[in-house]
Amino acid sequence: MPDPADCLPVPLDRHWVESGDVRLHVRAAGPNDGPLVVLLHGFPEFWYGWRHQIGPLAEAGYRVLVPDQRGYNRSDAPAAVGAYDLERLTADVRRLLDAAGRDRAHVVGHDWGAMVAWTLAMTHPWRVRRLGILNVPHPGVFRETLRADPRQALRSLYALFFQVPRLPEWLLGLGDGQGLALLLRGSARPDTFTAADLAAYRRAWRRAGRLRGMLHWYRAAARRGLRGETVAARVEVPTLVLWGARDVALSRRMAAPSAERCRDGRLVVLDDATHWVQHDAPERVNRHLLTHLAGCCA
């Protein structure tokens, strides 16, 4: 199978970054001296989940780093649940910046990548220039909503199933990842993921230990819980929240309160987009991201 990078309009570099107990696989595009943007994917994607954003950002002059987060694709996938604690996940991003020789970067995240981005902005705000969040609430808003809204708790029941040892990996991996493919297609618009996209994802999913690593993100989060002062912290860096209103897992009701937890927060709701907003509406997402990032000096 050809490298998924071959479908992008800009050339991608490949390199590796050592981060404590793991080696992270990173794709990069754009001028080396451009303002740095880090794109963080979520479950069950890998760097390829940003295929529609990498080219426009690089062509606008940004240096774009797109890692496979730990547990995914070519990055290492430790066997221990504790290796996926949010403190380690945010440390991975800080080490990406260190390896690039940068003190700060714009950070954009989707799904679990957005949770890492929220946490980094709250715990290490001096390392984030501007924050971009796609379809994940502020952690404090999520905690409060889970406690108060039975409908959101019902939407999140799948995460309880992921706590079961080994069984979710087996079920989701059957038929060369047919379960994960159904999850993607069932939560997206009919035209969101092509057969070629799913072939690229399947190649990533079938790597040894990767299904376990991907699900360990949920298991580590359940062990920690949404506890502590950090969860409720206010975000001080300028933040753009982009939200696909047709998200089947996360209620739109959490979008506005999440932007309100930011000192300088702005919300854009795309009524016709799903959880996979950067795939459903790439031109609009790219336009909003470029406008947001341009509001900060390099």
Q: Could you give the residue numbers annotated as active site? A: 111, 218, 275
Residue 85, Cβ density class (10 Å: 0-12 exposed, 13-18 middle, ≥19 buried): middle
Consecutive H or E run containing 204: helix 195-205
Q: Count the Cβ atoms, other than its own, within 10 Å of residue 294.
A: 14
Q: How far is CA 241 from CA 44, 152, 206, 231, in A?
A: 21, 19, 32, 17
> Which residues are CB-neighbours of 224 under 8 A, at least 6 positions away?
85, 86
Q: What is the DSSP string of 2-46?
A: --GGGGSSS--EEEEEEETTEEEEEEEES-TTSPEEEEE--TT--
Sign of torsion over alpha carbons 230, 231, 234, 240: positive
Separation in Å, CA 270 to CA 175, 280, 284: 34, 10, 9
Instruction: Say whether the peptide bond before residue 56 is cis (omega within 30 degrees of 0).
Output: no
Which tokens is 37 given? 């943007």
Q: Which two tokens stand for residue 98?
A: 């260190």
Q: What is the dihedral sign for C-alpha 185, 190, 195, 201?
A: negative
E-state strands within the chain: 13-19, 22-29, 36-40, 63-67, 105-110, 128-134, 239-244, 265-270
C-alpha of 127 from chain center: 18
d(CA 93, CA 117): 9
